[in-house]
Amino acid sequence: MNIIERDIWSCLKNSGKNIIIYGMGNGADKIINELERLNINIYGVMASDDFVRGQSFRGFTVKKLSELEQDDIIILTAFGSQRTDVIENILGLAQKHKVFAPDVPVYGDNIFNKEFYDSNRDKFEKVFDIFADDFSKKVFENEINFKLSGELKYLTDIFTDKDEAFKILNLGRNESYLDLGAYRGDTVEEFLRYTGGHYKNITALEPDRKNYRKLMEYTKSLSDIRLWNMGIWSSDGDMYFDASLGRGSSIHIGGSKKVPVTKIDTLYQVQKVSYIKFDVEGAEKQALLGGINTLRRDKPKLNIALYHRSEDIFELPLLLHEINPDYKIYLRQHPHIPAWDMNLYAV
């Protein structure tokens, strides 16, 4: 692998330029926390013109770019989007100024810096060797370089659409589909689109009550579908749940509510499954561990979010390969800044 020898944090520390945070919210909090830990000064916080209403964030008055703009600035994007117009706006901004997208984890505390990469170098090298095609290896290499550098060129160079990924999955008309983290039904809709509305059965889990009600409403006209208001884990029981983040609500030790959780192996003790989608907000590793028997017995096609935790990029492929080495494993990055729509596909 051709991996860069620097990371964004050391470059920012030595840049001598005014640093502007673009965005507010959890991502901005994590970026600012890391900058403060490294004693890197922040010049200001900006938002898109339509969102500036005199608000403050982390002690800064949020301003328009025109109010902060200078020749010598670095802009750090601190929010995520897959919208084409937003991505184009960020890339357009990068034509005028130095723009980086620092990688901070959605969940967990591991910042993807040079120290993190070096301490896990052997695992990264093992993962590189198990991918089934050369493009997956390119995606993997670019993802590492993007996460280290924050440079958008590494990310945009590997964007591919979902159609190409679903050609890998090659879903048929008789799939038994398990949707883990079904949200309000968007991935059930995606599944129906790629199967032409034909399937054997669908099982969908969603732990958030509000999202679950929306899921029930969306799927009420579908037959042969089981819905469960519960989460997925490596064991059966109850877990605390944080429902404060909407789509990003997750099983969390500091959550305020308890929700039932189950294992894939419990759901499929007898029945077989042919396709599983995992997007469970940082619980993907636990979900895999709870499905070892099923993954070995049925070898279902897999679609796994690989971006919630910094370590997911090597831990999940290595774990899957250990569970069932017969899988062919692919990596794809769909259009999103930062790399929040990086998925592992296995067949």
- Return the bridge partners of 44, or none: 20
**202, amino acid identity:** I
* pLDDT, position 171: 98
Low-confidence ranges of the chain (pLDDT < 50): 245-250
Q: What domains are there in the chain, each with its CATH number?
A: 8-118 (3.40.50.20), 162-305 (3.40.50.150)
Q: What is the pLDDT of residues 163-207, one digit of tens each?
A: 999 999 999 999 999 999 999 999 999 999 999 999 999 999 999
d(CA 98, CA 73) in angstroms, rounded, equals: 7
pLDDT at 253: 54
Supply the pLDDT for residue 240: 85
**In 3-state terms, what secondary structure has residue 143?**
helix
- Give the predicted TM-score (pTM) of the model: 0.94
- Strands (E) in 119-236, as ranges, are 176-180, 201-205, 225-228, 231-232
Token match 């034509």: residue? 95
The pLDDT, as a whole number, for residue 247 is 46
- Contact assessment for residue 334 and residue 162, using Cβ atoms and an 8 Å cutoff: yes
Cis bond leading into 105, ω under 30°?
no
pLDDT, residue 254, reads 54
Helices (H) and strands (E) in the chain, counts: 15, 17
Torsion of CA 261, 264, 267, 272, to 10 degrees: 170
* CA–CA dist 334, 155 (Å, integer): 9
Non-local (6+) Cβ contacts of 298 within 8 A are 268, 272, 273, 274
Count other Cβ atoms within 10 Å, centred on residue 261.
24
- The label of the residue with tokens 């989608």 reads 277
Whole-angstrom Cα distance, residue 66 to residue 21? Answer: 14
Q: What pLDDT is stored for residue 252 in this prediction?
A: 54
Kindly state the helix (H) or strand (E) to which residue 333 belongs, with its residue range.
strand 329-333
Tokens representing residue 79 in the block:
């929010």
CA distance 28 to 226: 38
